[in-house]
Amino acid sequence: MKITIGSDHGAVELKEEVKKVLAEFEGVEVKDVGTFGTDSVDYPDIAEKVCADVTSGQSDRGIVLCGTGIGISIAANKINGIRCALCHDVFSAKKSREHNDANVLAMGGRVIGFGPASEIVRAWMTTDFEGGRHERRVNKIMALEKK
């Protein structure tokens, strides 16, 4: 599985921690689109880079991080084909995969500690979409893009 990850300056340290967690998974290839320092950058630009890889099929899923996770998740969800879930607990992370087939995970580096964030990533990486009635609902979400 290929994962593209990106953060603004508000979550650079969290990005490094998330990459360590992703390295636990055999066969997972990670592409980091930055940012790589503490200089201020605009989170919509990072969301755009990560999501471009997901919608083009270059990556299977994406992880986007900013100070709160809010701005970057809003930006990601503006992009056709993206279902970005802002998760700061394991239950939501699991459900975002089982029920929503989330293809992008968002978290906030100024909101959550490394330990809980690592558990969220592990849960999100290992949980499959349930399909069934959820597929109908996800299809309805995606149809909203055309209205």
42 touches ligand RB5 (CB under 6 A): no
106: closest CA among 69, 59, 77? 69
43 touches ligand RB5 (CB under 6 A): yes
Verify whether residue 88 is a known catalytic residue: no
52 touches ligand RB5 (CB under 6 A): no
- Choosing from 51, 66, 84, 87, which is the catalytic residue? 66
**Sheet of strand 29-32, all strands in order from the earlier edge strand to the far edge:** 29-32, 2-7, 61-66, 104-108, 84-86
Q: How far is the CB of 62 from ligand RB5 (least distance, A)?
A: 17
Closer residue to ligand RB5 (CB): 43 or 124: 43
Closer residue to ligand RB5 (CB): 10 or 97: 10
Q: In angstroms, rounded to a whole number, what is the distance separating the alpha carbons of residues 47 and 25?
A: 24
**Angle at alpha carbon of residue 146, lines to 145 and 147, rounded to 5°:** 100
Which residues contact residue 38 at a Cβ distance below 8 angstroms, ignoring those fewer than 6 apart? 9, 12
Q: Of 30, 70, 138, 142, which lies in the binding site for ligand RB5, with binding defined by CB under 6 A? A: 70
62 touches ligand RB5 (CB under 6 A): no
Verify whether residue 87 is a known catalytic residue: no
Query: What torsion do the CA atoms of 54, 122, 114, 112 make, to the nearest 10 degrees?
Result: 70
Query: Where in the sequence numbering do the catalytic residues fall?
Result: 66, 99
Positions that interact with ligand RB5 (CB under 6 A): 8, 10, 43, 66-68, 70-71
